[in-house]
Structure 1
Amino acid sequence: MRRRSRSRRTPERSDRPQVVAHRGSSHETPEHTLAAYVRALDEGAEGLECDVRLTADGHLVCVHDRNLRRTAATMGLVSTMSLAELDELDFASWKNPWSELDDESPTRDPVDGKVLTLRKLLETVADYDRHVDLAIETKHPTRYGGLVERRLVDTLADFGWDRAGSPARIMSFSLNAANRVRRLAPELDVVMLVDKAHHWPVLRPLVGDDWIIGPGVEELRDHPGLGKHLVRAGREIHVWTVNTEDDLQVCLDLGVAAVISDRPGYMLELLGG
């Protein structure tokens, strides 16, 4: 019998979902920067979510988009650039482009705007003074295919986090990617992300019985049958991106195990701390 995934709810918090910071505390702070993750930890986030892409010289970096137009104001592609080239870019100014003209805007450390490597994020979590989970999404399609998951598992292995008891779980919208992770690291939890409710009937016979399911909150709201089916099937549910009180209530009504939010501090406040 295959193992069931471990619940994200600790015994003392069985009445509420785990709060996971989506790309860090990204509502207020530039996403995927170290500053965003430090802020999320300061706010009490119990997990950190990140997207990873592979650079041309083989480094995993925390960047959502395949191109850099939105977050670094350049036409380059992550997959065609080296880590050194990415390190020359500013990944923070887009969030507040008028800050230099605002006398009341806080001074920003240039380091806060540097590209964040997955290894640096893992080191931050490893050195933190309390347990923090990691929800790591691999982005597909990519020119590197399965090399992304292989590099990811190898990097987790450097921390001893490629086995049972790891704080990391791997997420993807790609069924091939999730299967690949399960082959490379059979004891790691995997999350099958679901973009559209009508995709679930196709995915249902293909995913493992112990896989976590990750639907978007809008799909749960617009298609309530999806959540009801997942609950009846006994699936552990992690929901993205939960940013409002109404979003959270949808998740609480279903008894989900984790909510992934741009506003982790606000979610924790709504949940009572």
Structure 2
Amino acid sequence: MPAAPSFRPQVVAHRGASHELAEHTLGAYLKALDAGAGGLECDVRLTADGHLVCVHDRTLRRTAANRGLVSTMNLADLSELDFAAWKNPWADLDDEAPDDDESLRGVLTLRKLLETVADYDRRVEMAIETKHPTRFGGLVEKRLVEMLRDFGWDRAGSPVRVMSFSFTALQRIERLAPEVQLVQLVDKPNSWPMLRRVIGRDWILGPGIKMLREHPRTRESLARSGRDIHVWTVNKEKDLDLCLDLGVKAVISDRPRLMLDLLDTRFGASE
């Protein structure tokens, strides 16, 4: 019989409770909070008029049925779009469906999400990914740190950590806010030998679950590094068990409620 896992990882909602509700909408994040997620993950991009918004893709085709680019549109223009309809395109045909709150369906600014977290009745951590490449380059990190300062979250003990696949982007954050936790995302095994020599001593590793499943030697190397590991995107029981075997500190999931329920069966219900 395998040994019982010794550490219960934090469950971080990937773009909110995005399996059930449209990603990066306020509705998806509120559902994740209600489910008990210990953290929320979001991607941020900069609009043409300088606002950080929670959007994954550089284009709006998939999530807002629009041909525009986030970087070339103003926040006011984005605010006119529906970012939730794509998730349930047949909703208009359901006469018995409750009316949606439009504020839960539109573009979500990072400031609004951080305000929601700050006002919540328990500590909730934030994992914020800056997307690159982008036409704004380092301005994204500069604006992000400025916003964290507004909340007093640019110091040690902050509930925020910043993630990126871009080593350079994380270096920028380290220069601007040296006490903020950093997560180096990794999705290709051949990038790890180089990254392991250059990333900061206290940086967290953020490998993808697919890479961990398919490349056991890289998985073992990451585990031997002695660094905290946060894994994305963990949606299946077998993948959660792999993470528990590795002793990871956080699992980032589209299905936070499922992950919490599975962890309850292994560790007992959390308070």
Deviations, residues 215-235 of structure 1 (Å, cap 9, x unaligned): 000100101122211221201
For residue 190 of structure 2, what is the aligned residue in structure 1?
198
Q: Does 1:212 align with 2:204?
A: yes
Identify the residue that residue 232 of structure 2 maps to in structure 1: 240
Q: Secondary structure at the match of 1:204?
A: helix
Match of 1:73 in 2: 65
How far apart are residue 94 of structure 1 and its match? 0.4
Q: 1:228 aligns with which of 220, 227, 242?
A: 220
**What percent identity do the matched residue pairs reach?**
70
Deviations along 1:101-137, whole A, 9 cap, x unmatched?
A: 0234332112211100000000000000000000000
Q: Is the 8 A contact 2:125 2:159 kept in 1?
A: yes
**Per-residue CA shift, 1:63-113, capped at 9, x if unaligned?**
000000000000000000000000000000000000010234332112211
Name the structure 2 match of 1:5: none
Matching residue within 48, 53, 68 for 1:61: 53
Find the aligned partners of 2:98 and 2:87 in 1 and give their Cα distance: 13
Q: Is the 8 A contact 2:7 2:244 kept in 1?
A: no
Provide the residue aligned with 1:15 in structure 2: 7
Q: Is 2:47 aligned against 1:26? A: no
| CA displacement 1:37-80 (0-9 Å, x = unmatched) | 00000000000000000000000000000000000000000000
CA distance in 2, matches of 1:119, 1:40: 18
Q: Does 1:35 align with 2:30?
A: no
TM-score (norm 2): 0.94
Structure 2 residue runs without a partner (length 5+):
none
Distance change in 2, residues 1:124/1:14 (3 Å) = farther
Dislocated runs of 4+, deviation >4 Å = none
Partner of 2:245: 253
Bigger Cα displacement from structure 2, 75-84 vs 102-111: 102-111
Question: Structure 2 vs 1, CA of residues 152 and 21 (structure 1 numbering), >3 Å: closer, same or farther?
Answer: same
In structure 1, runs of 5+ residues without a counterpart are 1-12
1:107-186 correspondence to structure 2 within 5 Å: 107-186=99-178
Mapped to 2, the partners of 1:15 and 1:256 lie a distance apart of 8
CA apart distance, 1:155:
0.2
Give the TM-score, by structure 1 length: 0.94
Q: Tell me how many residue pairs correspond in the alignment.
A: 261
Indicate the SS of the match to 2:197.
coil
The separation in 1 between residues aligned to 2:39 and 2:221, in whole angstroms, is 26
Question: Cα RMSD (Å) of the superposition?
Answer: 1.1
Counterpart code for 2:183: V
Pair 1:14–1:57, CA change in 2 (3 A): farther
Distance 2:199 2:180 in 1: 15
